[in-house]
Chain A
């Protein structure tokens, strides 16, 4: 194995290096801060995220470039996902600040672990080797487990963290086992070499490859929360503090999408006829169970968890076509989904206050009487999630379905539409409650100004981008090399 190292490697890695250095610096500074100056940690974290996003933008690659002995790849898709992930984490921090302060959870660890989780996402997004995929995933997961468990006095948070940790560890084990079998057959960890090996005709190894592939997909499905590997999602979303749920449900989904792309599209594209059928099954089950069970929920966080499961099903629809157009549609979907999820959990934080969690669906009853503006924003978010035109969520579903039809999977598109219609029920029920039911809780909203502004912007972005969906879609197509 020859080893070459050039200073250009470091330039390509500059955003990751900056993030790691700043995370360590924030950790060191935070240790010496008295509690009344904790705001500085928050500001440092925000500055780091924005600065890193600017760096990614400044080093935006025109074509894929590998670095660090082919273990790191910098490509347009990765850069766009990273910028979105960084900005979404920044917004998530902004939303959580007041919530954490009210609950005596405003500690430096939350932000430092958030930064490390973001680093893990960036490593996953840029991974070009099975090894870095796994390490990035572990860095992300480990930070998330801790963030869930951080509210130690809450029994439900501890229980959620335990479930998340155990199931996450099993998923990592599955993924690693699958990867080890792939390595055993192909004798390489590098994704390009892996793809080259698989492109050669071979029959004797196919069974082993399939065996490995199944484990890899099971691991992926666990991490994505696809049925039947979804059991942790509702418990973790409901049990974790809302600020953490907000974090888990938004940016890590981008990393999970990158994981799918790197493994299935970059590495195992040659096996797509095999993984396509597995993904079809997973996505149908996810759409069905997610949408049906969500109807029966009374807890909003749990309902959104089942809605996540359903959205993961739609997300996989694009990937399973195994075409560049399909990948772009899925990327569009995941970007839109993380924006919507950010807004929806942000609304729960907006309505909560010290000693009160607005986590039940009934807490949103009559929101229009209390605050017509936020009822409007929440309606945008719910209608977008349901896929009602002209919201952004509609275009996301439409582009995925388009790709399915183009790939000749019309029956699957029909099934997806059917479940989307069933799913629309529980989103519209939220809107109905906000406008046509009497408020049970009439106290005024107590959120900070920055949260109010940010969440309004979040809702309006979904509405305005929905008016001009081509902008974001062109971006996604462009990153995958389709003009």
Chain B
């Protein structure tokens, strides 16, 4: 009963946050709602006793990727006027997101143990982390390698699409400017005079 309630709470938060990600106008707010989305899904994973995935999601996505992403959003050439209006304007959103995350964390920490439904969750002596470690490089070695290739392609793509190896900036070459002659720049041609209409 409690599990169901907690699940629906997180699920509802997740859907609400995901919806807000695409509806808010301000990209910084969208990124913050994305953080909330990740957090809610991490909480749902904890309910499923997948604590390694949940922690990895929080550490990697919320902790690293989204922070970087926030930097990127701020670096982008978007209209900064509404963003610069100060801390106070963002405070309510930040507080709401932070508060919700806090509630979720408290609820999970106090409730997630013993909530598992024995009929659906494989109960083993080992922790989820240990189990993942045992299969990741053995049974799932092949998909793991493919995922590595995908990441390599992502890296190639990012470099191919952003780097400009050949500098196209135009600059002056004084040594060529001083030796220029009149003939190089002006060409006199004789044309027949046009009759007047």
Which residues of A come within 8 Å of B, CB atoms?
A: 1, 3, 5, 13, 20, 24, 27, 68-69, 71-72, 107, 109, 112-113, 116, 119, 123, 129, 131-132, 135-136, 138-139, 142-143, 145-146, 149-150, 152
List chain A residues, Cβ under 8 A from B143: 71, 129, 131-132, 135
Q: Which of B138-181 contact A (CB under 8 A)?
A: 138-143, 145-147, 149-150, 152-154, 156-157, 160-161
Please determine whether A145 and B139 come into contact, CB atoms closer than 8 angstroms.
no
Q: How far is the CB of A167 from chain B (nearest CB, A)?
A: 16
Of A27, A72, A138, the most chain B CB neighbours within 10 A belong to: A138
B135 at the A interface (CB under 8 A): yes
Please determine whether A139 and B146 come into contact, CB atoms closer than 8 angstroms.
yes
> Can you name 19 A-B pairs with beta carbons within 8 Å?
A24-B152, A27-B156, A68-B141, A71-B143, A113-B160, A116-B149, A116-B153, A116-B156, A129-B143, A131-B140, A132-B142, A135-B150, A139-B149, A139-B153, A142-B150, A142-B153, A146-B156, A146-B160, A146-B161
Q: Which of B104-146 contact A (CB under 8 A)?
A: 135, 138-143, 145-146
List chain A residues, Cβ under 8 A from B145: 20
Please determine whether A113 and B149 come into contact, CB atoms closer than 8 angstroms.
no
Which residues of B come within 8 Å of A, CB atoms?
A: 135, 138-143, 145-147, 149-150, 152-154, 156-157, 160-161
List chain B residues, Cβ under 8 A from A123: 146
CB closest residue in chain B, given A107: B160
Please determine whether B160 and A109 come into contact, CB atoms closer than 8 angstroms.
yes
Q: How far is the CB of B130 from chain A (nearest CB, A)?
A: 14
List chain A residues, Cβ under 8 A from B149: 20, 116, 119, 139
Tell me the bound Cα distance from A109 to B165 in angstroms.
Answer: 13
CB closest residue in chain B, given A69: B139
Q: How far is the CB of A394 from chain B (nearest CB, A)?
A: 39
Q: How far is the CB of A173 from chain B (nearest CB, A)?
A: 12
Tell me the bound Cα distance from A27 to B143 in angstroms.
Answer: 22
CB closest residue in chain B, given A136: B146
Closest 3 CB pairs of A and B: A146-B157, A68-B142, A109-B160
Count CB-based A-B contacts (< 8 Å). 68
Please determine whether A113 and B156 come into contact, CB atoms closer than 8 angstroms.
yes
List chain B residues, Cβ under 8 A from A138: 150
List chain A residues, Cβ under 8 A from B150: 135, 138-139, 142
Q: How far is the CB of B14 from chain A (nearest CB, A)?
A: 14
Please determine whether A145 and B157 come into contact, CB atoms closer than 8 angstroms.
yes
Please determine whether A72 and B160 come into contact, CB atoms closer than 8 angstroms.
no
Contacts A3-B139, A131-B143, A135-B146 given; indicate if A146 touches B153 (C-beta within 8 A): yes
List chain B residues, Cβ under 8 A from A69: 138-142
CB closest residue in chain B, given A109: B160
Tell me the bound Cα distance from A136 to B147 in angstroms.
Answer: 9
Tell me the bound Cα distance from A107 to B160 in angstroms.
Answer: 9
Q: How far is the CB of B178 from chain A (nearest CB, A)?
A: 31
Tell me the bound Cα distance from A410 to B160 in angstroms.
Answer: 51
Tell me the bound Cα distance from A281 to B61 in angstroms.
Answer: 41
List chain A residues, Cβ under 8 A from B135: 1, 3
List chain B residues, Cβ under 8 A from A5: 138
List chain B residues, Cβ under 8 A from A129: 143
Q: How far is the CB of A423 from chain B (nearest CB, A)?
A: 36
Please determine whether A150 and B160 come into contact, CB atoms closer than 8 angstroms.
yes
List chain A residues, Cβ under 8 A from B160: 107, 109, 113, 146, 150
Q: How far is the CB of B150 from chain A (nearest CB, A)?
A: 5
Tell me the bound Cα distance from A123 to B146 in angstroms.
Answer: 9
Please determine whether B147 and A135 come into contact, CB atoms closer than 8 angstroms.
yes
Contacts A142-B157, A146-B153 given; indicate if A132 touches B138 (C-beta within 8 A): no
Q: How far is the CB of B139 from chain A (nearest CB, A)?
A: 5
